[in-house]
Structure 1
């Protein structure tokens, strides 16, 4: 078997809130909580297990490759929810999307302060 990423734990202030936020933006479902984890599974089988932690959360970055149609739908949900978004990872181009590598991309923050990104083309692609 080839090595594959199966799951990762995402620290959150409120696991349910952060998991639901991601699921809502990406049009996914929140899975059944298991112990302290609130899972959100992606189409390629990777699960993000949100877990509330009693410490200061250090920002992490999570990028999601989506189709053009999924980007359009997710971006509309971001806009409708009034979520601040940027075209760049340094948050210097607010209210814009990027067209890197001939696709579309946008950055935004989740409730715990993690940097999330949706892109339609892999970098270097």
Structure 2
């Protein structure tokens, strides 16, 4: 169950309460404020690599899914975390923190979520400067 929160800055103080509310007693496969902040750096690297300018990146989202247990884990599922980020004029903000069912062998996942317009622009910028060979 996702709890929508006001867009929170990436500081430990701002994230403590929302993270604690979603975790409850689950600590092992869930996330921490520090991990949320570290993932934001990785997300920013993905945004920069997309070659999309900041002005067109506004509204872009990203998702962090925590890793599940190892394959050797004998249980069927665990409670993990799903953190949704949103890009604003002032950078990345946390939009929601939620519980997410994770299964043995699932890896941590960080992914950008873009609109169709942003995807088209990323695609166009990724081939800019290339000469496209015509089929014979």
TM > 0.5 fold call: no
- The structure whose RCO (Cα within 8 Å, separation 6+) is larger is 2
Relative to its length, the structure with more helix (as a share) is 2
Question: What interval of TM-score do these two structures reach, taking the shorter chain for normalisation?
Answer: under 0.3
- TM-score normalised by L of structure 2: 0.22
